[in-house]
Structure 1
Amino acid sequence: MGASIFPIFFFTMVWGGVGIALPRMVPNGPQQRLMQVVLMITGACCWLFWLCCYMAQMNPLIGPRLSNRTLLLIAQQWGNPLERF
């Protein structure tokens, strides 16, 4: 499974909108800067979390669990016969 450009582009635009466009729309008030920073940090953190989860699916650290029979057949097909226990 390889990376597809559409999900990366789409979610970058969504979280970029949260982190760049929404802070510009915050109404004036005593907490305006705080709300802008919160939106920027939210956009950056959510995008980074999504990207890490998406990339982890491309090369998982834990593979499928195979039965002993399947492992023996694979080893035999690849020319590395294993002994039965």
Structure 2
Amino acid sequence: MNGFIVPAAISGFWFIIGFIIPLFIPRGPNKGITVTCLMITAVCCWVLWITTYIAQLNPLFGPQIKSTTLILMKNWGF
């Protein structure tokens, strides 16, 4: 359950920025552009964040060291 709190909070934040705040933009000649900018910004930032978050949950592979390098590292004296 605790692992779900952070993604839900961040997703909720970007949902508010992209879909709730545009409802409160006052009428004017640039309302459409402002709403579009807010929505595109929220979607792009959310996709960037969720991609980074998911990539860190289960990395494709860890560091891979060749056996010759590993043998040399054993001789370093640490």
Range class of TM-score, shorter chain: 0.7 to 0.9
RMSD: 1.9
Identity %: 33
Written as runs of structure 1 = structure 2, the 5 A alignment for 1:65-76 is: 68-69=70-71
The structure in which a higher percent of residues are helix is: 2
State how 1:1-85 maps to structure 2 within 5 Å.
4-64=3-63, 68-69=70-71
State the TM-score, normalized to the length of structure 2: 0.74
**TM-score, normalised to structure 1's length?**
0.68
Aligned partner letter, 1:18? I
Distance in 2 of aligned mates of 1:68 and 1:38: 51
- Aligned length in residues: 67
Work out the CA distance in 2 between the residues paired with 1:62 and 1:50.
21
Q: Which has the larger radius of gyration?
A: 1
